[in-house]
Structure 1
């Protein structure tokens, strides 16, 4: 029993050592696909897990589109490579490419060489370089100025339109009730009209020229 127990412990220790060795000689990176506009900047990173062991070398490699095999990247005016040791067990490798063009499209990954002639590579990042934007910074600035001027010119027009709408939609004043007078409700009184009719005889006037005849007055006539 004791011998079997010792064998199991030894086997577990070997597994742990193998696991530690695998972790201490690997590259940690994520597989991704990026679309970057032409003329912009590309930034990639990976982590080398070395557990503080010296003697490892390597860096970034690149494979062009429709071509086989990776080639090592070297620093230049557009290509910038750096590393940063975050912990005692790992180091981050950074890649920055400025002013991208169509020749930068392809696959990128980290390739590390260990002292025991073992190589480790991280996951591949595929980069697609898209066409640059048509609008330049100068045009965008001019467009902004034109938009501001157009907004300022349209502001008085909008104010006038709103004023006209509010003016036309005002409520009309209430109607004035007709004025009634007391005299309009009183019926007019009936007026009395008198007529005087005088009859004269021409023959009698000739017989008695000097005698004036008395006028005959009739009763008044009423009209309703």
Structure 2
């Protein structure tokens, strides 16, 4: 039993130490934000945020913007809207939304918090660069108009394609006519050559007949006999 009693005391001591450590843990104050660079086109919108861990205490703060020359406080306005929402009993999330971004909005942004004891704390700097491009958001009406125009143009495109295909099919006819003309020319040439050959044949036969007639009409030369006398 003494060993059992000692083991029980050790377990109770460990539980007390663990419970005391959990409840004695203190909440640390701070501001948490991600260091990041944003490229925003002129006329677009931008949203920045950070988390304040206040541990349930009182605090105040504001957004700061700093560039190469000045440091200013971002006031809540029609273009600059910031809101605060609870994350837990010890944390709150701060949002800064900038509408219709201008070149004057370019710079480094941070959240500056003031605690109840008068101390200050800031979040990481978030860099905002404004580009020259203009953001263009297509509205649903614009998309509907584009789709309607595409459907209306489709029959016209199909009609033009059909007309072009029919014209392409009709183009080989002149080639057939030219081929027929070639055949006619070949036939004419063949007939001309045949007649010319017949004329040559007739001429050859006529010349042979004339030679035969001439040979028959020539008189036969008489035979002359001579006598030779010896003295």
Counterpart among 67, 70, 73 of residue 69 in structure 2? 67
The equivalences for 1:99-118 within 5 A come to: 99-118=100-119
Aligned residues: 148
Correspondence 1:1-150 to 2 at 5 A: 17=25, 20-22=26-28, 25-53=29-57, 55-64=58-67, 66-67=68-69, 70-133=71-134, 144=146, 148=150
Q: Which has the higher helix share?
A: 2
Q: CA deviation at 1:92?
A: 0.8
- Alignment partner of 2:78: what SS? coil
Distance 1:152 1:34 in 2: 46
Quote the Cα distance in structure 2 between the aligned partners of 1:131 and 1:159.
Answer: 46
What whole-Å deviation, never above 9, does each CA across 1:31-90 have from its counterpart, x for those lacking one? 11111111121111111011211x2111211112x225x322111221111111121111
Unaligned runs of 5+ in 1: 1-8, 169-224
Counterparts of 2:83 and 2:112, CA distance in 1: 14
The TM-score normalised by the length of structure 1 is: 0.54
SS in 2 for 1:59: strand
Q: 1:117 to 1:52 in 2, by over 3 A?
A: same
**Scaled by the length of structure 2, what TM-score is found?**
0.52
Q: Which runs of 5+ in 2 are unaligned?
A: 1-16, 172-231
Structure-2 change in CA distance of 1:89 and 1:154 (3 Å): same
TM superposition shift of 1:117: 2.8
C-alpha distance in 1 between matches for 2:87 and 2:112 = 19
C-alpha distance in 1 between matches for 2:126 and 2:88? 24
Q: Distance in 1 between matches of 2:92 and 2:35?
A: 19
1:115 and 1:128 map into 2 onto residues whose CA distance is 34
